[in-house]
Amino acid sequence: MNAILERLAGVAQNPYEYVKAWKQEHGGRAVGTLPMHCPAEVIHAAGVLPVVLQELADPITSGGGAFFPFFCGYTRSLVDQATEGKLDFLDAISFTDHCVQLLSAADVMRIARPQIRIHFHQLIAALDEACSLENSVGILHSMATDLEETLGVTITEDDLRASIRLFNENRQLIRSIYDMRRSGSIRLRATQMQHIVKSSMIMDKQEHNALLRELLPQLQQAGKPPRDALPMYASGHLCHAPRPEILDLIEDCGIAIIDDDLYHGYRYVSTDVDESIGDPILGIATAYLNKNDNAPCPTRLAPHTDWNIWLRDKVTECGAKGLIVLLAKYCEPHYFHYPRIKATFESNNIPHLLIETEHEGIAMENLRTKVESFAEITKRRQ
């Protein structure tokens, strides 16, 4: 069990080294994707390795002169990676989100690395309009066509179906770990759970699935841990992973993160593609439109789903005693929705804590005092 977890942690901590080694070993190609809704199944069906580009812990150097300092740490890190040549191993980049910061980052990356083809196919933000499904199907067909032209391949329906099956299995395996973690039958630290999800964003899905199939029974056999920590739900960080040291600090303060809607967490695996739909592109488009029911996204409009109400219900359902909001500095969609989350949790007398993070780091001892105080207040309120 520990060997598998260490393998996944190694990939999560050095994602691009894995991709470079994979390309050399398999003689294959890799296409980078940006969060949060890019359908990697379409890229995989083209016979290449889809890779979710990650924020790196490296200090921002040359990228600082090419991008706004008031944009989020993830996009500033991407620009720095491009200007430093750290993304030159990619054969293309594809994304489907319309966040103004991601768009601006992509524009700078095009200028810095013109040899890397960057595709943008904006998926419709309104999820329940009469034209939403037709629009999404058209965009996905356009995305597949551009990949075919750029890579010189043909994407068939059988290729798409095979990729969908593979990705569905990966999501289901990770959700099984979530179910066990939520029920308290296993104890994984938040950083270990992040490594499992983050490595899935990088690795060949067949290899990742094989490791997870081996890991699941070992986690079950490890025995049920004592549930003495204060159970909490973590929310936020819509594009990049929270720093492991922040997650470790939270849990070192007597808290157990038992569930989350982080992008490098449950949000990434929340929704499968219906394999019974005959047209695989239609299946992927339908899953995209349904995703907000399983993990509401503040960049998508679905009037029947309110993120704040959904969060309140999820915290109650999983048995958490409160909510920890991890908000990446300068994330406009999250800034816009946080007041509603705050009001909902205060009106329902559910403890919650806001932690604002940034690429350059935060004062860890100040954060420790804040988290310890929150834990103590929550225990007293019980």
Does the pLDDT of residue 226 top 90, yes or no? no
Distance from C-alpha of 277 to C-alpha of 364, rounded to nearest angstrom: 49
Beta partners for residue 94, in sequence order: 33, 119
The pLDDT assigned to 221 comes to 86
Question: Whole-number mean pLDDT of the chain?
Answer: 95
Backbone angles phi, psi at 34, to 5 degrees: -105, 150
Distance from C-alpha of 326 to C-alpha of 235, rounded to nearest angstrom: 6
Give exposure, 187-200, as e/b (b: 16+ Cβ within 10 Å).
bbbbbbbbbbbbbb
**351 neighbors 377 (Cβ within 8 angstroms):** yes
The pLDDT assigned to 225 comes to 67
Distance from C-alpha of 218 to C-alpha of 187, rounded to nearest angstrom: 12
Interval 100-126: pLDDT, tens: 899 999 999 999 999 999 999 999 999
For 77, the enclosing helix (H) or strand (E) is: helix 73-83
Give the CATH fold of the 9-153 domain. Rossmann fold (3.40.50)
| 91-105, 210-224, 341-355 — most confident range | 341-355
Q: pTM for the full model? A: 0.96
Region 184-204: what's the mean pLDDT?
95
% the chain with pLDDT above 70: 99
DSSP strands (E only) in 126-261: 230-236, 255-260
Distance from C-alpha of 83 to C-alpha of 65, rounded to nearest angstrom: 10
Q: Which tokens go with 164?
A: 């969908």
Burial-class residue 323 by CB neighbours within 10 Å (0-12, 13-18, 19+).
buried
**194 neighbors 244 (Cβ within 8 angstroms):** yes
From first CA to last CA, the distance across the chain in angstroms is: 35
Closest CA to 297 of 283, 311, 318, 316: 311
Closest CA to 253 of 363, 374, 125: 374
Interval 7-55: pLDDT, tens: 999 999 999 999 999 999 999 999 999 999 999 999 999 999 999 999 9
Interval 293-311: pLDDT, tens: 999 999 998 888 899 999 9
Domain boundaries, the chain: 9-153
